[in-house]
Amino acid sequence: MTAEIADWIIERYTDQWKADPLLPPLCIALDTALTPASMLTTFLREYGRAIYRAATAPEDFDPIACEAEAIRFSLRALEDERLANLAYAEAVAVRNMARDEPYRSALKLLADEPSWRRYIKS
């Protein structure tokens, strides 16, 4: 994964978000010290959280459902980008964080998610 490819993918998703006038402004800060692969997976998780927040009324916000959507979105987006190796690494990283909340409960919500099941079985 090169920085150019990661930047190109991030820019496409950002442009897609901006093209929808009904969505609030997108503000995702990324640590430029991250590797391009880490920057991309971090962006995609944050994008998934932003999707959840945009679709959920403040009084209905659920941090566990938000985290599940972030994981689900990042895995699906990586598959869509034909980056199965990064999707696998993302699934392993999330599984390793699952001893803590909200990850533990979020993974329970993903039990039937095909993307999650595909990578976690490997």
Q: What is the pLDDT of residues 67-77, one digit of tens each?
A: 999 999 999 99
> Residue 52 domain-assigned?
no
> Residue 45 domain-assigned?
no
> Residue 110 domain-assigned?
yes
- Residues whose CB falls within 8 Å of the CB of residue 62, separated by 6 or more in sequence, listed in order: 56
Amino acid at 118: R
Amino acid at 82: R
CA angle 63, 65, 70 (to 5 degrees): 90
Task: Note the Cα 31 to chain centre separation in Å.
Answer: 16
- Residue 34 DSSP label: S
> Residue 42 domain-assigned?
no
> Residue 100 domain-assigned?
yes
For residue range 42-89, what is the model confidence (pLDDT) as tens digits? Answer: 999 999 999 999 999 999 999 999 999 999 999 999 999 999 999 999
pTM of structure: 0.84
Number of separate domains in the chain: 1
Q: Which domain holds residue 111?
A: 63-122
> Residue 32 domain-assigned?
no
> Residue 46 domain-assigned?
no
The answer, yes or no, to whether residue 120 has pLDDT greater than 90, is no
Decide: 107 and 98 in contact? Cβ < 8 Å: yes
> Residue 7 domain-assigned?
no
